[in-house]
Amino acid sequence: MKVFSGFLKELKLASRGFYFYIEIFMAVLILILFLFIVPDEFSAKGEEYVFLDMPKEAKDVYLKGLTGEDLLNQRKNVKIKIDGKDKNVDLYETEDSSLYFLESKEDIIYMADNKRKISLIIKMDEDHNLAYQYYLQGYESQKLKNLIRVLNLESAHLLQENMDSLEVRSISIDSKRLSDKENMLPSVLVFNGSLMGLFLIAAYIFLDRQEGVIKAYALTPSPVWQYLMSKIGVIVFISILSSMLVLLPVMGLKPDYLLLLVLLISTAFFSSALGLLIASFYDSLIQAFGTIYVFMIIMILPNMAYFLPSWSPTWIKIFPTYSMLQGFKSVILANGDAAYVLSVSAGFLLMGLIMFFLANLRYKKILFR
C-alpha cells in the first residue's frame, strides 16, 4: 500500500516535471520520423554516368539490350545540370543503380571531375568490340576496381549463370523478416524505452536530494526500499508509455504485446536499478553525468553488431543491450520465440534485483543513517 501510494506521488511529481515531457516529446518525435520520414526499405542506389561512344545504330542496339536484360529497367528523360547548362538525358533505373546516359565525353569528364560521380565511356571499335573506360575518384578500394575489371568480361556472365542455376532451400519455411524501418524499432525501444531510465531515475533522485525531502522520508517508519521502488515504478511506467507511443502506430497489432510488456518491465527495472546505484556515488546530477554518459555509450556499442550482423564478436554479446536488442527484435517479429524472450527477461530481472539490493544498501548508508 505504501509502495503504491509512493508510486502515485512519484507519478504526480514526474507529470509536473520537465524530464517526463522530454521523454514523451522524444517518443512523439521518433513516431513522426517513423511515420512520415523513415522509408520502409533503405535503398543504396548508386548513380553512374555513361557515354556511349559508338554510332547511333549500335547505341540503340546496346540500350535495347539493356532494357531487355532487366524488367525493372525503366527509361525516363530527365534534365540535369552540366557545367551550368540544363541538359536532357536518358535515365535508366535498375534495382541497384541509376544510369544516366550523357551525350559527350566532355560531359562525362565534367561529372567525374566536378560532381565526383562514377563515370564511364563505352567505346566500340571497328571490329564491334566494346571497351570500357571508367573515371573513378581515387578513393575506391582495390576490391571495387577488381570487380569493375571482371564485370564486363564474358566469364562474369558465365559466373552469373552458374549462380542462378544453384538451388537454394530455406530451412525455416515460416521465417519472417522485418522491413528496414521495423528493424530500427528494437534500437528505439532499448534507448528511448529501457536505457533512458538510467538517466531519468538519477535525475529524480537528485531532485529529491536537492529539496531535502529524503531526510523527511528518513524520519518515517517506511523503509528505504519502498522509496526506491516507487521511483523505479514510475520509470517503468514512463518506459512502457513512451515505447507504446511509438510501437502501436508503427507496428499495429503485429508484435506480441504481452511478451513486450514482460521484456520492457524487466529491462527498465534493470536500467533504473543500475541508475540508482550509479547515482548513489554522487551528490549531484552534474557530478554523476560523466559516469552515466560513459555507461550509455558502452550500452550503445551492441547496436553496431545489431545493424551489421556479419560483425558480431563474442565480447559484444556480453553487453546487456545486445540481449535487449535481440529480445525486442524477437518480440516485434512475433516469431513465437517466447522462451528466448522470457529467458532474457528473467536475466534482466535477476540482474536488476542484484543492482536494487546493492542500491538499497548504499542509500540506507548515505541518505538515511
Chain residues that interact with other proteins, rule: CB under 8 A: 1-2, 5-6, 9, 12-13, 16-17, 211-213, 215-223, 368-369
d(Cα 60, Cα 44) in Å, to the nearest integer? 29
Question: CB–CB of 120/48 below 8 Å?
Answer: yes
Coil, strand or helix at 254 = coil
The CA distance from 367 to 279, in Å, is 12
315 Cβ partners below 8 Å, 6+ apart?
none
Which of 66, 214 has the CB closer to other proteins? 214
**Residue 96 contacts residue 46 (beta carbons within 8 Å):** yes
- In whole angstroms, the minimum distance from the beta carbon of 26 to other proteins comes to 21
Residue reference for cell 525501444? 189
Dmax over CA atoms of the chain, in Å, equals 99
In 3D, which of 141, 191, 123, 155 has the Cα closest to residue 328? 191
Please identify, using beta-carbon distances, which residue of 24 and 301 lies nearer to other proteins: 24
Q: At what angle do helices 224-251 and 196-211 cross, to 10 degrees?
A: 140
- Residue 214 beta carbon to other proteins: minimum distance, rounded to whole angstroms: 8
Report, in Å, the least distance between residue 209 CB and other proteins: 10
Cβ at position 353, least distance to other proteins in Å = 23
Distant-in-sequence, close-in-space partners of 78: CB < 8 Å, separation ≥ 6 = 88, 89, 90, 91, 100
Smallest distance from other proteins to CB 21, Å? 13
Smaller CB distance to other proteins: residue 9 or 145? Answer: 9
Strands 97-102 and 46-53: parallel
Burial class (CB within 10 angstroms; exposed 0-12, middle 13-18, buried 19+) of 47: middle
Name the minimum Å distance from CB 220 to other proteins.
4
Q: Which residue has the cell 581515387?
A: 138
| Terminal alpha carbon distance of the chain | 24
Q: How far is the CB of 199 from other proteins (least distance, A)?
A: 19
Q: How far is the CB of 5 from other proteins (least distance, A)?
A: 4
* Sheet containing 130-135, strands listed edge to edge, beginning at the edge strand earlier in sequence: 74-82, 85-93, 97-102, 46-53, 118-124, 130-135
Kindly tell me which of 216 and 353 has the beta carbon lying closer to other proteins. Answer: 216
Q: Which is nearer to other proteins, 11 or 300 (CB)?
A: 11
Choice between 156 and 213, CB closer to other proteins:
213
Residue 8 or 130 with smaller CB distance to other proteins: 8
What letter represents residue 86's amino acid? Answer: D
Q: Which is nearer to other proteins, 6 or 186 (CB)?
A: 6
| 272, 235 Cβ separation under 8 angstroms | yes
For the CB of residue 212, give the shortest distance to other proteins in the complex, in Å. Answer: 3
Q: Which residue has the cell 505504501?
A: 2
Least distance in angstroms from the C-beta of 1 to other proteins? 8
What amino acid is encoded at 161 in this protein?
A: E
Q: Which is nearer to other proteins, 173 or 219 (CB)?
A: 219
Which CB sits closer to other proteins, 226 or 271? 226
